A and B are shown apart, each in its own frame.
Chain A
Amino acid sequence: MPRIFLDGDAIEAQLEDSVAAALLRAGVTTFTRSIKYHRPRGPFCFAGSCGQCLMRIDGVPSLPACRVQAAEGMRCVRQNGPLGVENDLFRAADFLFPEGLDHHHLLVRSRLLGRVALEVARRLAGLGELPGEARSAVRGELRTVKLAIVGGGPAGLSAARMAAAGTLLIERERRVGGAPLLFGDTINADAGRAEVLLQAECVGLYANDTSLPGNGLLAVRHRDRLSAVIADRVIVATGGVSQPLPFPGVDRPGVYAARGLLALSARVGVKLAVVGEGAEAQRCAAALSRRGYEIAIVPGVPRRALGNPVKAVDTASGERIRCDAVAIAIPPAPLHELASSVGAQAHFDGAGFPVETDADGRTSVPWLFAAGTVARKDAARSGGTAGSAACR
């Protein structure tokens, strides 16, 4: 079993653990202090999306502990708590400014006090310290494909099965399948004729400005290496991202995304208060219960979460529910950024910004398609349609 070190103390991890899982297993819930008020923070999404579990790992600042595999001898250091993250004295900022600190209008009357504020703010700014060591360029490669599909969930796989040869499927995780894997659902993992690139994350999509032919230019990260992929057509099937709900205490350690807990190799106590309504909450509650949790559903938006880590929630009706942790189970919001960053239109639908597509799955950018949750469409059907249309 790998042994990692947190702020110098040894912690036993399980083989399948991420750093976050290993720490939670060991009862560590405060992973960092927040940037402004030094509030305690711990992991939320377990998908590298939320930025609440950033930690210095082996000399590199602000890595998401939920996405780093625990490995023997790994040195993890918590950030932004100069006198110790557990008892950070700067948390006074949260206590002294309960209504918030308006930095725009702080001490504007006096030039002298303004300069003091500047010096203090400057010293408190930032999260991680500079990396310990230099890192030289890691050479990436260039690929040209007819079609690039980003996301190997049900929509991306459906698209791949309908696509012609010369298709590349880019999947962030170690295996294709996407969200259904969290719920133990059976999936059709067949990717047709597409070449599947696993543990590869598309971090940028651009209009191709190189001299090589092709419409889209993708920056694809595989570990430390960044490669360029030029594609005639691109299908974005990036799915969704877990959302918190803004009620007091939601940012405290012990409040997790329900889907995140399903992806986590460790368990966070026994009794879970599941916040949410409708199909998503039911589905998450059932899956979490299969993982051995006792579930209490919290309807509506809670009034507050209490404790650090959170050990209770007050419901909208005033009832107090005691728990070991809270799971937020509202439908994931479409992960539209890749599509919208190149100009695809997306509009608010009350729960997110789905990318707008026509009957073929085409976005407002002619060479760009979107399918599945990101377009708020049925995954299998919209994926297949986009896969066929993109190869016409």
Chain B
Amino acid sequence: MPLSEKAILCACEDVSVHDVEGAIAHGYADIESLKRYTGLGTGPCQGKSCEVGAMRICAGRNAVPPAAQVPFRARPPLAPTTIAAYAGLPPEVTGARHPAGGLRPTWGKGAHPLQPHAALPERVDVVIIGGGIMGLALAWNLAGLRAGRVLVLERGYLCEGASGRNGGGVRAQWTTPTLIELAKESIAFMARFAQELGINVWLRRGGYLFLAHDDETLRRIEYGAELQKRHGLSTRVITPGEASEIVPQLDPSKFVAASWNPDDGVVFPWPFLWGYADGARRRGAQVETFTRATGIEVSEGRVRAVHTDRGRVAADRVVVAAGAWSPTVARLAGVQLPNVPYRHEIVSSEPLKPFLGPLVTMLGTGLYFSQSMRGEIVGGMGDPEEDPGLNQTSSLRFLARYGRALADLMPQLGAVKLLRQWAGCYDVTPDHSPVLGETPGVAGLLQMSGFVGHGFMMAPAVARRMAEWMGGAPDEIFERYNVRRFAEGRLIQETFIIG
């Protein structure tokens, strides 16, 4: 068998010049999208041998202007480094925290160099602010219902926000009936996503294993399992011994019981967004990247238009679907949302041969990890000392905490090397439940936010129902999850939050 004549550009991930040209032709010419769409630079060398070659192709074809000829965001570690090494970092690294960093915008003030030059329409029926999974899925659904002209505004590249930064976990194990039903429908949709939207999201149903480290948490998972059974899920509470049969590398002395649902799983997040974006466009919706909403015009209690850095677009309905940026966007209309952004960090290991079926999570510490379709261990961990704020920078502190927790629960991972860390923002509401529906006082301003790190796995169902509700179909969740509930004291507490 002779070797083929591929001109390999990224030897780690077997990406060829032909693949890069294909991505550019598809509209993914900016270096961050090019990296995600082709996979170049995501292997063990992290782009040291390919990003120059990739940019040479982009620049040679004038695919991006000189101002946008920048490297993709470099992610520590700069050389693969073991979990055991991170676990051994001195205690000062994880001690008292002094806030540092903050949000590093991919572009400063002024228009992004990759902003399209074409004029935006003067009027549309619906403007969706935020081109994440929620906004794009809503656009696809609205366009399918022929709900008029739909325009999605995304300030960066597709996948720049939390929808492109999560670990891809999808599960129906929740402790509120609505979320269970939304997740069930969404996961069923993911299983046929490729046929509906024409791109693979690689849903792998390896299950979710929630570990309870103490009796109080055990009672929580028992309550959850009962509720989930009533909703037709096959969740059951199992012993540490049974959990060790599912994941033999776990140290069973670190937990007292586990909640196990074999039907949950993980997906590959990025194609989800590309699929919805392409699908929405095919149905006639407009998705504009690198375009920022700068104002929301309100008069006589109604929304009238959205101002952008490409001009004004009149619309009777504006949807706030900006994830952790939703409070910032809502303020453009003078609306205060109770949502608060919190950074969550995440890291990917070197690719290993498949050994880990489920996504494993420890409810007490917020540690979670799973093995991606590419073989990487992708995981994160919440930090009780994290300050609120929009922050997408990475920290050494996170790797030290994650390394310790992971090496403690699964000592065999100690010699596994970490490759790449990044961060995204959760959009956290006071009761950990979403904010949906009309905005009191501003007719036509619709909320679709507050998903506390799990919007990704709910989007297909939420977007379908939102589109139908916007078309006039009654749906009680848009009343029950209205932002008024916080003022009225009708909180809907969800307790199965990870990270």
The answer on a CB contact under 8 Å between B95 and A130 is no
Q: Contacts A35-B43, A92-B1, A104-B271 known; list 16 others, CB within 8 Å.
A: A36-B14, A106-B200, A108-B198, A114-B194, A125-B354, A127-B44, A129-B355, A130-B355, A131-B414, A134-B412, A139-B90, A219-B396, A225-B88, A227-B89, A346-B71, A350-B59
- Chain B nearest CB, measured from A54 CB (Å): 6
- Chain A residues closer than 8 Å to B355, beta-carbon distance: 129-130
The answer on a CB contact under 8 Å between B352 and A121 is no
- Chain B residues closer than 8 Å to A14, beta-carbon distance: none
The answer on a CB contact under 8 Å between B77 and A204 is yes
Identity of the chain B residue whose Cβ is nearest the Cβ of A37 in the assembled complex: B14
Q: Mark B83-111, 1 if CB is under 8 A from A, else 0.
A: 01111111011011111110010000000
The answer on a CB contact under 8 Å between B204 and A118 is yes
The answer on a CB contact under 8 Å between B85 and A122 is no
Bound CA–CA A353/B487 (angstroms): 52
Bound CA–CA A98/B14 (angstroms): 12
Sample of 26 A–B contacts (CB below 8 Å)? A45-B49, A51-B11, A60-B415, A61-B350, A61-B416, A103-B200, A109-B195, A121-B202, A122-B373, A137-B84, A137-B87, A137-B403, A137-B414, A138-B85, A138-B87, A142-B90, A201-B79, A206-B100, A206-B101, A207-B393, A208-B100, A210-B95, A337-B74, A340-B74, A341-B74, A353-B55
**A-side binding surface: helix, strand, loop or mixed?**
loop
- Chain A residues closer than 8 Å to B81, beta-carbon distance: 203, 219, 221, 226
Q: Does A250 contact B (CB under 8 A)?
A: yes
Identity of the chain B residue whose Cβ is nearest the Cβ of A144 in the assembled complex: B92
Q: Which of B9, B86, B93, B395 has the most CB of A within 10 A?
A: B93
A20-71 residues with Cβ-Cβ distance < 8 A to B are 34-37, 39-41, 44-45, 48-52, 54, 59-62
- Chain B residues closer than 8 Å to A202, beta-carbon distance: 78
A54-111 residues with Cβ-Cβ distance < 8 A to B are 54, 59-62, 91-92, 94-95, 97-100, 102-111
B1-53 residues with Cβ-Cβ distance < 8 A to A are 1-9, 11-14, 16-19, 22, 37, 43-49, 51-53
- Chain B residues closer than 8 Å to A9, beta-carbon distance: none
Q: Does B80 contact A (CB under 8 A)?
A: yes
The answer on a CB contact under 8 Å between B1 and A91 is yes
Q: Does A336 contact B (CB under 8 A)?
A: yes
- Chain A residues closer than 8 Å to B95, beta-carbon distance: 210-211
Identity of the chain B residue whose Cβ is nearest the Cβ of A106 in the assembled complex: B200
- Chain B residues closer than 8 Å to A300, beta-carbon distance: none
Q: Does B82 contact A (CB under 8 A)?
A: yes
The answer on a CB contact under 8 Å between A348 and B59 is yes
Q: Does B432 contact A (CB under 8 A)?
A: no
B46-82 residues with Cβ-Cβ distance < 8 A to A are 46-49, 51-53, 55-57, 59, 66, 69-71, 73-82
B-side interface size class: 35 or more
- Chain B nearest CB, measured from A127 CB (Å): 5
Q: Does A264 contact B (CB under 8 A)?
A: no
Bound CA–CA A35/B376 (angstroms): 13
The answer on a CB contact under 8 Å between B90 and A138 is no
Q: Mark A187-228, 1 if CB is under 8 A from B, else 0.
A: 000000000000001111111111110000101010011111
A100-B6, A121-B373, A248-B6 as given contacts; A226 in contact with B194, CB under 8 Å: no
Q: Does B217 contact A (CB under 8 A)?
A: no
- Chain B residues closer than 8 Å to A54, beta-carbon distance: 44
- Chain A residues closer than 8 Å to B77, beta-carbon distance: 203-204, 219
- Chain B residues closer than 8 Å to A203, beta-carbon distance: 76-79, 81
B residues near A (Cβ < 8 Å) are 1-9, 11-14, 16-19, 22, 37, 43-49, 51-53, 55-57, 59, 66, 69-71, 73-82, 84-90, 92-93, 95-101, 104, 191-192, 194-195, 198-200, 202-204, 249, 271, 274, 350-355, 373-376, 393-397, 399, 403-404, 407, 411-417
Q: Does A351 contact B (CB under 8 A)?
A: yes
A157-176 residues with Cβ-Cβ distance < 8 A to B are none
Identity of the chain A residue whose Cβ is nearest the Cβ of B375 in the assembled complex: A126
Identity of the chain A residue whose Cβ is nearest the Cβ of B199 in the assembled complex: A104
Interface segment, one of A239-247, A318-326, A374-382: A239-247
- Which one of B79, B202, B353, B396 lies within 8 Å of A128 (CB-CB)? B353
- Which one of A99, A129, A341 lies within 8 Å of B352 (CB-CB)? A129
Bound CA–CA A52/B43 (angstroms): 10
- Which one of B52, B80, B84, B200 lies within 8 Å of A136 (CB-CB)? B84
Bound CA–CA A252/B3 (angstroms): 9
- Chain B residues closer than 8 Å to A392, beta-carbon distance: none
- Chain B residues closer than 8 Å to A250, beta-carbon distance: 7-8
- Chain A residues closer than 8 Å to B89, beta-carbon distance: 140, 219, 226-228
Bound CA–CA A100/B13 (angstroms): 12
Bound CA–CA A136/B411 (angstroms): 7
- Chain A nearest CB, measured from B25 CB (Å): 12
- Chain B nearest CB, measured from A385 CB (Å): 24
The answer on a CB contact under 8 Å between A48 and B79 is yes
- Chain B residues closer than 8 Å to A130, beta-carbon distance: 249, 352-353, 355, 412-413, 416
Bound CA–CA A203/B399 (angstroms): 12
- Chain A nearest CB, measured from B69 CB (Å): 4
A106-B200, A129-B352 as given contacts; A211 in contact with B85, CB under 8 Å: no
- Which one of B45, B407, B412 lies within 8 Å of A51 (CB-CB)? B45
Q: Does A287 contact B (CB under 8 A)?
A: no
Q: Does A235 contact B (CB under 8 A)?
A: no
- Chain A residues closer than 8 Å to B274, beta-carbon distance: 104
- Chain B nearest CB, measured from A98 CB (Å): 4
The answer on a CB contact under 8 Å between A44 and B11 is yes
Q: Which of B2, B3, B37 has the most CB of A within 10 A?
A: B3
| Total chain A interface residues with beta-carbon distance under 8 A | 110
Identity of the chain A residue whose Cβ is nearest the Cβ of B8 in the assembled complex: A251
Q: Which 7 A-B pairs have the closest CB atoms?
A: A126-B375, A135-B414, A51-B44, A134-B411, A348-B69, A204-B76, A36-B14
- Chain B residues closer than 8 Å to A209, beta-carbon distance: 97-101, 395-397
The answer on a CB contact under 8 Å between A246 and B7 is yes
The answer on a CB contact under 8 Å between B354 and A126 is yes
- Chain A residues closer than 8 Å to B192, beta-carbon distance: 111
A94-B6, A130-B416, A337-B78 as given contacts; A105 in contact with B353, CB under 8 Å: no
- Which one of B17, B99, B198 lies within 8 Å of A105 (CB-CB)? B198
Bound CA–CA A351/B194 (angstroms): 39
Identity of the chain B residue whose Cβ is nearest the Cβ of A126 in the assembled complex: B375
- Chain B residues closer than 8 Å to A140, beta-carbon distance: 85, 88-90
A137-B87, A224-B82 as given contacts; A128 in contact with B92, CB under 8 Å: no
- Chain B residues closer than 8 Å to A106, beta-carbon distance: 200
- Chain B residues closer than 8 Å to A103, beta-carbon distance: 200
- Chain B residues closer than 8 Å to A304, beta-carbon distance: 5
The answer on a CB contact under 8 Å between B374 and A125 is yes
- Chain A residues closer than 8 Å to B200, beta-carbon distance: 103-108, 114, 117
Q: Does A262 contact B (CB under 8 A)?
A: no
Bound CA–CA A243/B1 (angstroms): 29
- Chain A nearest CB, measured from B314 CB (Å): 36
The answer on a CB contact under 8 Å between A308 and B90 is no
Bound CA–CA A224/B88 (angstroms): 10
- Chain A residues closer than 8 Å to B98, beta-carbon distance: 208-211
The answer on a CB contact under 8 Å between A122 and B204 is yes
Q: Mark A256-283, 1 if CB is under 8 A from B, else 0.
A: 0000000000000000000000000000
The answer on a CB contact under 8 Å between B198 and A133 is no
- Chain B nearest CB, measured from A3 CB (Å): 24
A126-B353, A126-B375, A136-B411 as given contacts; A353 in contact with B71, CB under 8 Å: yes
Bound CA–CA A248/B9 (angstroms): 9
Identity of the chain A residue whose Cβ is nearest the Cβ of B76 in the assembled complex: A204
The answer on a CB contact under 8 Å between B93 and A228 is yes
The answer on a CB contact under 8 Å between A137 and B8 is no
- Chain B nearest CB, measured from A34 CB (Å): 5
- Chain A nearest CB, measured from B274 CB (Å): 8
- Chain B residues closer than 8 Å to A208, beta-carbon distance: 98, 100
- Chain B nearest CB, measured from A206 CB (Å): 5
- Chain B nearest CB, measured from A244 CB (Å): 6
The answer on a CB contact under 8 Å between A353 and B52 is yes
